[in-house]
Structure 1
Amino acid sequence: MKDKNQSNPQEGYSLVSNSANTMETVECGTKFRNLKGMGWIVTCLFIVGETAGGGLIAMPAAMVSTGLIGGIFVIMLGAAMCAYTGNLLSENWTILQQRWPEYRNHCRKPYPAMGLRALGPRFMTVVSSCLNVTQFGTAVVFLLLAAKNLESFLQSFGGVQIGFCYLVLFVAMFMLPFTMLKSPKDFWWAVIGAMVTTTIAVTLIIRGAISDGSQCLRHVNYAEVVPSKFFMCFGTVMFAYGGHGAFPTIQHDMRKPYHFKRSVYMAFFIIFLMYLPVSVIGYIVYGDSLRDSVIPSLQEMYIQQAVNALITMHVILALTIVFNPLNQELEDVLNVPQDFGWKRFVARSAMMAAVVVVAETIPNFGVLLDLVGGSTITLMALVFPVIFNFYTTAGSTKYNGIVATKDEKPLSFMEAVHYTPKHKLAIYAIIMAFAIIGGGTASLSALGQMVNSQFSQPCYAGLWTTKPVEETILGNATELLTYSHHGKVNCCGMFKNISRFGDTEYCLDPSISVGGGSHG
């Protein structure tokens, strides 16, 4: 007699229950549902909250190397390609759930699992390594950005002087309890909050830039677009759009995972509508006076610090998602139980401690993240989704979508080509070419900046010095800033000395920043 809990894609409906995970799935034909999962609209908000925010403040500066038309083109192309590869990931995970029943319940490593089914265990290891580097690097920079923004806010409005190193520890301790949550459906409130803060920040940035336009537009200067530098913004764009590492985890928690396509296309359309006006208006008003982030260029201090606070809130909330795949990877290596217990607490605390150590040791992590944006994030957002989809969809076609056998091996390259439609092969080729050229150029540019940059001393070295050092971790350089009670701004104009206050004492020294692209 057949077990009533066994699934078979050739039957109509059957209930699969896992008491350990308290997750229930329903099978309908060959499509599977999580009875307690999220709807596609909530999932869309998850993607927006997880992806948008950090990259928002860097996108206007990224246009300096591309010009207005080129910048619009790159932002549109980046959104279209990342939305398409997000849909490819959706197709991949749907196929995995159809053909490998073990993925119908809780899965700790859904993204690497795609690599396993596409090309085998060795490729899964490569995918896991890229995912870990990407998530870890993003967590470090988000932690630095949150700490520095908090420091700036306290100095500007409260006159509170707290060392940057202490604030890194404070943000980490504040975030630690939230990183203990199991999966995205457990912290939906954080992602919704991240999306709301980003939306308000977009409105304020546009308002602040338009207000500054009355003074800055008369003196604005636009840098000459050099073809060799056109792809310098690629790392920034990929970091701004490249949240793909968490997509399978989010999709797995949907009520109808096969509806992730709706979520991802709607989400990237919303993100595009956020990025484009901020980038265009910011670039038109400030021109090549933009340095690393648009926030310091906003000359109305209340608007500047409101955006500062909102982006900080977004970063803190987004860290909850960024840590999740990283923590689950570590727990899988250490064989930590999926239910909450002291082992999870120790493992996730250790991961947070590792991020803090790197953040305190390399406070100007921006150049390294630009390297990650052009390399591992490009792999995660463009290259891997194409490779996954190329092999998994071809395999599904070859075997007619039936449940895979234990001895089934990945298809060869020529087999995958045979079972893949020609128009899809053409799209794959375009995305791969763009990823290789853009990612390679951005990575080499970041490496060059790393070689030519002088890294600052470890952050914790300042704990034993008598002279406080204020460091702003934004973009490819470390800016040394001293805030008055009015605050300081990146003034506009060709010589970066035009202030709406009519006094250059409010302007940051133009020689402080070491140019180049930026990240979020």
Structure 2
Amino acid sequence: MLSVPYALSQGGWLSLALFVLVGAVCYYTGKLIVRCMQADDSVRTYPDIGQLAFGAHGRRAIGLVMYVELYLVAISFLILEGDNLDKLFPGTVVELLGYRMHGKQLLVLVAAAVILPTTWLKNLSMLAYVSAVGLIASAALTASLVWAGVAEKGFHVKGSDLLNLSGLPTSLSLYFVCFAGHGVFPTVYSSMRKKRHFPKVLLISSVLCSLNYALAAILGYLIYGDDVQAQVTLNLPSGRLYTRIAILTTLITQLAKYALVIQPITAAIDKNLSVAATETGQLTRMLTSTAVVVSTVVLACTVTFFGYLMSFIGSSLNITVSVLFPCLSYLKIYKARGGVRHVEVAAIVGILAVVGTYTSLNHIIGTF
């Protein structure tokens, strides 16, 4: 949501049509994931779908893509924390052991120090409740943009580009990030008491999120035009109450969700290390979590470009998890059973063609 105004500025007003298309495609592929799960009662996770469709190689491939995606999202959380804390506390300087630390890197370290103990928890259910603050953060950000437009900048249609081909790949990548929750769909579906309602849940949430994203994108682009930053909160004027509310709710959300994001990564490492449920095993799990946090801190202090990182996640990983893998798995599972209609084959081929066109466009534009 923070990056959709920037995405709109990169692609121009007509890129909103592609935003709608991406939302529709991701909704359809979400339904394909559920169909894949319904093919076998033993399927409960996303890698399980890979196992059912393509065997052990499929499980390993989709698992690797998911873990890399989660790792990069964790890095983006820390970058986000550093940028927004710097917005709240500009010019912060600390001297430690004769070394002068300042700026975003210092604030990334502060955020990591707060986050680290949450990664040691055995039961993360408490963080799941806290992460519901994300709903409040979304509403607070939209309200802040409205407030900024009314009280500060006004809505002057500063962004005038109808279509910017050179920025279109970035826009599409960021739009895919908006709808890339497919990795957790199997977990949500498996946990529902009335699983038959999942398509309705998916449709309602997709529509509501789309409206929220689109409103934020349009407001941000109307107010700041081509000057909108990769995180629209960085455009909000310092010292204003609505700016502080928007940034604080965003910060709390990332603090709560970081441990949830890296938990599958640390669990996979512990499984490979055969960590036992003993005191020694608990210490090993803490060391594993600490090592993951430290590595993300180092990369967050090195890769400071939030917009480019989110674009990379969208273009190289989310598209695989959200579009390519569901389509190919569905065809592989149901084609042999004669359960794929010609209309579905045509729709899937069309989706794969669109993704292929996007990839080709990305490479062509990248050569100039």
Same fold (TM over 0.5): yes
Partner of 1:133: 68
CA drift of 1:180 comes to 4.2
Please identify, of 365-374 and 334-343, the stretch whose mean Cα deviation from structure 2 is larger: 334-343
In 1, Cα distance between equivalents of 2:35 and 2:276: 29
Partner of 2:231: 293
For the pair 1:223 / 2:161, whether they are aligned, the reply is: yes
For the pair 1:142 / 2:82, whether they are aligned, the reply is: no
Partner of 1:190: 130
Instruction: Give the conservation status (yes or no) of the 8 Å contact 2:82–2:108.
Output: yes
CA drift of 1:133 comes to 1.5
Report 1:241-260 matches (<5 A).
241-260=179-198
Partner of 2:98: none
One-letter amino acid matched to 1:415: A
In 2, Cα distance between equivalents of 1:249 and 1:183: 17
CA drift of 1:166 comes to 3.0
Pair 1:154–1:291, CA change in 2 (3 A): closer
Instruction: Give the conservation status (yes or no) of the 8 Å contact 2:127–2:257.
Output: no
SS at match of 1:172: helix
Report 1:111-126 matches (<5 A).
111-126=46-61
SS at match of 1:222: coil
Partner of 2:336: 415
In 1, Cα distance between equivalents of 2:295 and 2:203: 35
One-letter amino acid matched to 1:75: F
For the pair 1:357 / 2:301, whether they are aligned, the reply is: no
Partner of 1:270: 208
Pair 1:296–1:143, CA change in 2 (3 A): closer
Partner of 2:108: 168
In 1, Cα distance between equivalents of 2:124 and 2:176: 22
Deviations 1:122-145 (A, max 9, x none): 122221221122111111111111
Partner of 2:172: 234
The structure 1 residue matched to 2:259, chosen from 305, 315, 320, is: 320
Gapped runs of 5+ residues in structure 1? 1-55, 105-109, 395-413, 450-520
CA drift of 1:282 comes to 2.0
SS at match of 1:113: helix
TM-score normalised by L of structure 2: 0.85
In 2, Cα distance between equivalents of 1:260 and 1:320: 26
Deviations 1:419-462 (A, max 9, x none): 311121122122222222224544776x779xxxxxxxxxxxxx
The structure 2 residue matched to 1:87, chosen from 31, 52, 71, is: 31
In 2, Cα distance between equivalents of 1:118 and 1:80: 24
Deviations 1:289-335 (A, max 9, x none): 22323223334741333322222222222323322332333233223
CA drift of 1:368 comes to 4.2
Please report the RMSD computed on the Cα atoms of aligned residues, expressed in angstroms: 2.9
SS at match of 2:262: helix
Instruction: Give the conservation status (yes or no) of the 8 Å contact 2:170–2:311.
Output: no
Pair 1:269–1:207, CA change in 2 (3 A): same
Which of 1 and 2 has greater Rg? Answer: 1
In 1, Cα distance between equivalents of 2:117 and 2:51: 32
For the pair 1:306 / 2:245, whether they are aligned, the reply is: yes
Gapped runs of 5+ residues in structure 2? 95-101
Pair 1:90–1:306, CA change in 2 (3 A): same
Greater helix percent: which structure? 2
Aligned length: 357
Higher RCO (C-alpha under 8 Å, 6+ residues apart): 2
In 2, Cα distance between equivalents of 1:170 and 1:291: 24
The structure 2 residue matched to 1:75, chosen from 9, 16, 19, is: 19
Report 1:373-388 matches (<5 A).
373-388=314-329
CA drift of 1:213 comes to 4.4
Pair 1:213–1:354, CA change in 2 (3 A): closer
In 1, Cα distance between equivalents of 2:251 and 2:106: 16
TM-score normalised by L of structure 1: 0.62
CA drift of 1:186 comes to 5.4
Pair 1:444–1:363, CA change in 2 (3 A): farther
Pair 1:120–1:338, CA change in 2 (3 A): farther
Pair 1:278–1:364, CA change in 2 (3 A): closer
Deviations 1:469-501 (A, max 9, x none): xxxxxxxxxxxxxxxxxxxxxxxxxxxxxxxxx
Instruction: Give the conservation status (yes or no) of the 8 Å contact 2:69–2:313.
Output: yes
Deviations 1:4-31 (A, max 9, x none): xxxxxxxxxxxxxxxxxxxxxxxxxxxx
Instruction: Give the conservation status (yes or no) of the 8 Å contact 1:238–1:373.
Output: yes
Instruction: Give the conservation status (yes or no) of the 8 Å contact 1:209–1:285.
Output: yes
Partner of 1:210: 150
Moved over 4 A (4+): 180-186, 337-340, 442-445
In 2, Cα distance between equivalents of 1:133 and 1:189: 25
- Identity fraction in percent: 21
In 2, Cα distance between equivalents of 1:317 and 1:146: 12
